Structure 1
Amino acid sequence: MRYYATSMLALALALGATTASAQTTIEVLRAETTNVEKAINEQAAKDFEALHPDVDVKFEYLANEAYKQKLPTLLQSDARPDIYYSWGGGVLRDQAKAGFVEDITSQVGDEWAKTYSPAGIKAFTVDGKIVGAPMNATEVVFWTNLALAKKAGIDISKIKTWDDFLAAVKKAKDAGVTPIMVGGKDKWPLHFFYGYLAVREAGEEGFKAAMAGDGKGFAAEPFVKAGEDFKKLVDLHPFQPGFMDTTYEQASGRFGDGEALFHLMADFDYQGAKDRSQSGKGIPDDQMAILRFPAVTGGKGDPKDTFGGVNGWVVSKGAPKEAVDFLAFWNGPKYQSEAAAQGAYIPTALAATSAIKNPFFRQMAQDLAQSHYHQVFLDQDLGADVGATFNDASADLAQGVITPEQAAKEIQDAWSFH
């Protein structure tokens, strides 16, 4: 009995020593992602902990909408994460203005910044201060099910303009094929249509003028035309039944199950649609293709302009120094190269781009390299409030309950008061 008590005491002391040695916990919060990326994140955490026995790294994942809703509250509390996922843009600028982010410029240095693409570092720099690190660049494309395209007699290589795309939608419906899968309940997937059409109609100069408050701003003619272009699609009833009750995650899985011809989504849906499909494998790569968003005849935007994101990580105010050390360790070329090789995302670390094996990602990387203007997701770039208005307007247009003129005016009114 004495031996048992002594053993228990030794075990308790050992456990106490182990607990005491893990003096710093780094909490990382991420919007839900693929199993491939999660595995890479966990491996990076284990590798860092092995080098730093006094540090414990914990990842937490939340569904996309839950993440967006919970993060603002967390950042105002003592429970805020040390590192959190960000789409950059106006939302990040608002967070910096509110004092929620840490200036890590002096901790990372110029040489570290040079390991990323200039656009990537710019996306995570606010008022000249580096507040995080870019992870990936994204391009929104039409993921395409080639088996359904064949069934409908559609050659996607011939889709060059918006009118060509509308004709393909009609042809798919005539063949009994659901043209487009969309997660309308979350609204932001619908903003990809309205937003990309605005990029095609207004172009870079049009967006600069609108953001500067010149003329009618976001109520100017090109933005009204974008709504009219979207309405032409909506009038064809292209989406699956009940699209406004379908979340992004559900739409992603259903596209992976082969239920629709197109899914307008960024590169992250390549693995996401596979993971969320019933088989866990999704559409075979040889039965899938990507279609760049078509040009709009008469639009002021360059057909090579891209719409998507430069996503990454932000260090929150008051985070321990070790959080910056882990970010530099984990978000560097080594693990980004692994992610690129496994098709998790298109990396922003310059030394990692050569590791891209996925042919779809290579094509997107080429598109991004050729693009002279890359517009970040508008629900992020315009800030939380105006971004929410843009999403609402997109959903209202998709349901036919608002006119293109009303949608443009609502966005402009929100921008005027932001």
Structure 2
Amino acid sequence: MSYKKLMLAAACAITASCSGMTAALADVTVRMLHVEQSPQVAGFWNDIARRYEASHPGVKVDVQYLENEAYKKKLTTLLQSSDRPNIIYSWAGGVLRDQVKAGVIEDLTPVMDAPWKARFVPAAVQAYTVNDKVYGVPMHTAQVGFFYNKDLFAKAGVDASSIKTWDDLLGAVKKLQAAGITPIITGGADKWPVHFYWSHLAIRIGGKEAFEAALRGEGKGFADTTFVQAGEVFKQLVDLKPFQAGFLGATYPQSAGQFGDGKGAMMLMLNNLLNTMKANSADKVGIPEDKLGWFPFPTVAGGKGDPSDTLGGLNGWLVTKGSPKEASDFLKFFSEAENQRQAAERGFYIPVVIGTQDAIKHPILRQVAENVSKSKYHQLYYDQMLGPSVGAVVNDISADLAAGRMKPTEAAEAVQQAWELAQ
């Protein structure tokens, strides 16, 4: 063997040996599965993981990322596997309740002591409490509202501040169309972006009481007047054909990219759009901050809902059954105020850790944080709140209504039938 080959073989042997030593040093590996596409947010998480590892020798935190729909499709199978991740992303609600019932989620009550619990806004912890036991670590809140492109609104002569009612929104859509601008972008292929219309209209029309009455099985439940009217009012918008061409085939990431590329004037979405738009727009920037506006979902004439009522999320983390104690310990480290203030300052999300929201710089996130804090009724997304089987039907009927394939009465009855079957 030549000297050059001998040295190459020795180098390979040393590298293999060092890799083995590194693996051996990691006595515990915590595997975390996140729903995220933004490289900037991923970098934030990776930095937190490295800092935790530095102060916890022998522990490796492996953060993996999936797109929203891919995550949802794989999660059930992953949870049934012995090789499941230790930490998973959660929207709380009925999906969490089903996971707890299935016995695949750790009860964090014994480890979430009073000081740790006191870090969070009480409502956030309550969202992850099932049968008086805490099963999750809350991370951030969100509100669904209309993002809009200021340049396109100006071109069409639309004043966003004047859009207060549903009729105002319909008028804005007509103005945009008259100016040759696609009024609204949405991701119909994933369906859940469209369910924001039907569910938010139900909130505006019937308020909190209508939803809670349906949960209790009063009257016709989800087939009652409120939910039928939600479909009828949504049809007023659908009949104007406001969405981009091919919207039923567009996923959320694709539609976020289209909006960021200026292909349409508005998009009804949660505040995660700020990150998803950047990740999927052609220039990886999207609409600049000073050109991007936001307004809340409009009211409906005669509706019983309070204008301050909000639809959104309280997202967080769950630890899967049988995971090492380092999994919950890492989440405790992550939820320290210093880390959450960094996320707020960089505009990644709105933390639910007390004393961090003053670090928010992005004007839209500041507005949303204020709205949620003042809301007396913050409704979790229907597709998550009602559980996986009913939530899937809510998404299906919303897409069918948007496509003109289903009547409002049929849509409401389908949700009620799914709810009855799930009980």
1:287 positional shift: 1.1
1:333 positional shift: 1.5
Identity of aligned residues (%): 49
Paired residue type of 1:311: N
1:107 alignment partner, SS class: coil
Paired residue type of 1:308: G
Between 118-127 and 233-242, report the one with greater CA deviation: 118-127
Paired residue type of 2:121: S
Q: Distance in 2 between matches of 1:324 and 1:258?
A: 42
Distance 1:12 1:172, change over 3 A: closer
Give 1:413's aligned residue: 417
Give 1:294's aligned residue: 298
Q: Indicate which of 188, 191, 206 corresponds to 1:187.
A: 191
Residue 237 (structure 2) pairs with residue 238 (structure 1): no
Q: How does 1:346-365 map to 2 (within 5 A)?
A: 346-365=350-369
Q: Indicate which of 369, 374, 380 corresponds to 1:376.
A: 380
Q: Indicate which of 332, 335, 341 corresponds to 1:337.
A: 341
Paired residue type of 1:169: V
Q: Distance in 2 between matches of 1:9 and 1:335?
A: 40
1:37 positional shift: 1.6
Distance 1:186 1:11, change over 3 A: closer
Number of residue equivalences: 418
Residue 125 (structure 2) pairs with residue 121 (structure 1): yes
Give 1:150's aligned residue: 154
Give 1:227's aligned residue: 231
Point out where structure 1 has 5 or more consecutive residues left out of the alignment. none
Give 1:160's aligned residue: 164
1:129 positional shift: 1.2
Q: Distance in 1 between matches of 2:99 and 2:323?
A: 15
Q: Distance in 2 between matches of 1:15 and 1:158?
A: 62
Give 1:278's aligned residue: 282
1:183 positional shift: 0.5
Give 1:49's aligned residue: 53
1:32 positional shift: 2.5
1:147 positional shift: 0.4
1:108 alignment partner, SS class: coil
1:178 alignment partner, SS class: coil
Give 2:26's aligned residue: 22
CA contact (8 A) 2:94 2:384 kept: yes
1:393 positional shift: 0.4
1:202 positional shift: 1.4
1:271 positional shift: 2.3
CA contact (8 A) 1:36 1:342 kept: no
Distance 1:219 1:54, change over 3 A: same
CA contact (8 A) 1:204 1:301 kept: yes
Q: Indicate which of 239, 244, 251 corresponds to 1:247.
A: 251
Q: How does 1:193-212 map to 2 (within 5 A)?
A: 193-212=197-216
Residue 134 (structure 2) pairs with residue 130 (structure 1): yes
Between 314-323 and 280-289, report the one with greater CA deviation: 280-289
Deviations 1:33-66 (A, max 9, x none): 4222211100000001111121111111111111
Q: Distance in 2 between matches of 1:247 and 1:295?
A: 27
CA contact (8 A) 1:34 1:344 kept: no
Paired residue type of 1:412: Q
Paired residue type of 2:302: G
Q: Distance in 1 between matches of 2:85 and 2:93?
A: 20
Distance 1:32 1:15, change over 3 A: closer
CA contact (8 A) 2:38 2:278 kept: no
Aligned alpha-carbon RMSD (Å): 1.7
Paired residue type of 2:308: K
Give 1:66's aligned residue: 70
1:350 alignment partner, SS class: coil
Give 1:87's aligned residue: 91
Q: How does 1:26-41 map to 2 (within 5 A)?
A: 26-41=30-45
Paired residue type of 1:327: L
Distance 1:282 1:8, change over 3 A: closer
2:65 alignment partner, SS class: strand
Q: Distance in 1 between matches of 2:156 and 2:294?
A: 17
Q: Distance in 1 between matches of 2:337 and 2:32?
A: 19
Calculate the TM-score normalised by the size of structure 2.
Answer: 0.96
Paired residue type of 1:116: F
1:105 alignment partner, SS class: coil
CA contact (8 A) 1:40 1:335 kept: no
2:189 alignment partner, SS class: helix
Q: Distance in 1 between matches of 2:316 and 2:358?
A: 19
1:258 alignment partner, SS class: coil
Calculate the TM-score normalised by the size of structure 1.
Answer: 0.97
1:16 positional shift: 3.6
Residue 91 (structure 2) pairs with residue 99 (structure 1): no
Distance 1:15 1:146, change over 3 A: closer
Q: Indicate which of 255, 260, 264 corresponds to 1:260.
A: 264
Q: Distance in 2 between matches of 1:70 and 1:32?
A: 15
Give 2:397's aligned residue: 393
Q: Distance in 2 between matches of 1:118 and 1:26?
A: 27
CA contact (8 A) 1:386 1:414 kept: yes
Q: Distance in 2 between matches of 1:50 and 1:166?
A: 55
CA contact (8 A) 2:140 2:351 kept: yes
Q: Distance in 2 between matches of 1:413 and 1:346?
A: 36
Deviations 1:6-35 (A, max 9, x none): 988776655443321101111101113422
Q: Distance in 2 between matches of 1:262 and 1:25?
A: 43
Give 1:326's aligned residue: 330
Distance 1:378 1:6, change over 3 A: closer
